[in-house]
Amino acid sequence: MRLLLPLNRVPIALVLGIRTRKPEKMVVQVSNNTKSNTNYISREFTIDGYRELNLNLPQSPKAALIRIYNTNVGDLEAKQDNSFVIEKLDDESLEQCPVRMKKDTQSFVEFAQLFSENASQLSAGTKKPSIYRSNDGKFQFDYYNQIFDKRTSSYVTTPARIGHTSGVIDVSKKDFINYTVPMRMIILLHEYSHKYLNPEINKPIAYETGADINALNIYLSLGYPPTEAYYAFLHVFKDANNEDNAKRMVIIDDFIKKFTKGEIEGSCKFKTNINGR
């Protein structure tokens, strides 16, 4: 089933109610109708009976293409698939928390949002990147098809990395083209936090957990869906499955759960449907 919904680029939360006759694996995807490989939500759910999903869109397109389908049947027209029915599709105000961001952080967030929404369409380079700068000139993304390390004359597997001295963020289109917009945002916020926020909490630039938490604090406060953050970190960690990253994932999970319950100072209590958000 496909639905075209005018959202006019307004931050919004969609409430989607789906009913199935028996347990079904369902895909729900919210995409930009005019930009390929630009998904704002792309998740798989098991639904048995009736289930409501809360879909957070702090960034939304002018017109959203919503695809809902049963993985066992495929993406068919509504009349061709009677394994589920849509019983509810409403919009609500997006739940956000006030977050105190200094001017530079606000500038980076706006730059990162613009880049994340257009990453699939922007050109990238092979050994020489395409260069993108924020309007104030303070931040720069070097966009590679796959990040090339000049020091080792080889490609690296990471989706993004930041220069500890320069502050320039290298980004891999090979990875970003497969990420949702929120996944791109948490990755970019993580890199920003290394250089610009870790020192504010008296931690080394290279400190990963500090970058994780600082990035999540901004990301969740803006209303981005927790599930997309989980998937972003899991995607990165799958190529580096080690004890340190396992510990990081435990801390990330604990922070997200406490933040959404309002247990972190400055956070808000959100609806508890983590998978839907």
100 pLDDT band, cuts 50/70/90, is: confident
CATH fold of 2-92: Immunoglobulin-like (2.60.40)
Q: List, for residues 238-266, the tens digit of each pLDDT value.
A: 877 788 889 999 999 999 999 988 888 76
| 229-240 mean pLDDT | 88
Answer yes or no: is pLDDT of 91 > 60.
Answer: yes
DSSP bridge pairs for 22: none
Beta bridge partners of 26: 45, 70
pLDDT at 275 over 70: no
pLDDT tens-digit map of 124-175: 999 899 999 999 999 999 999 999 888 888 888 899 999 999 999 999 999 9
Q: Where are the beta strands (DSSP E) in the chain?
A: 2-6, 12-20, 24-32, 39-47, 50-57, 63-70, 84-92, 130-133, 140-144, 148-149, 154-155, 160-162, 169-172
Contacts of residue 263, Cβ cutoff 8 Å, sequence gap at least 6: none
Mean pLDDT of the chain: 92
Q: Residue 270: pLDDT band by 50, 70, 90 thresholds?
A: low
Please state, for a pLDDT cut of 90, what percent of the chain lies above it: 78
Mean pLDDT, residues 206-216: 96
Partner residues linked to 18 by β-bridges: 51, 86
pLDDT of residue 267: 65
Which pLDDT score, from 0 to 100, does residue 271 have?
A: 58
Least confident window among 83-87, 109-113, 154-158, 211-215: 154-158
pLDDT at 276 over 60: no
For the whole prediction, is pTM greater than 0.85?
A: yes
* 235 three-class SS: helix
pLDDT at 79 over 90: no
Domain boundaries, the chain: 2-92, 103-260
What is the three-class DSSP state of 117?
helix
Q: What local confidence, expressed as pLDDT, does residue 153 receive?
A: 86
227 pLDDT more than 80: yes
User: Which pLDDT value is given to residue 31?
Assistant: 97
- Name the band, by pLDDT with cuts 50, 70 and 90, for residue 193: very high
Q: Tell me, what's the pLDDT at 95? A: 84
Q: Please count the helices (runs of H) and the strands (runs of E) in the chain.
A: 6, 13
What is the band of 201 on the pLDDT scale with cuts at 50, 70, 90? very high
Out of 36-40, 112-116, 233-237, which region has the weakest mean confidence (pLDDT)? 233-237
**What SS3 class is residue 125?**
strand
Mean pLDDT across 218-234: 95
pLDDT of residue 78: 66
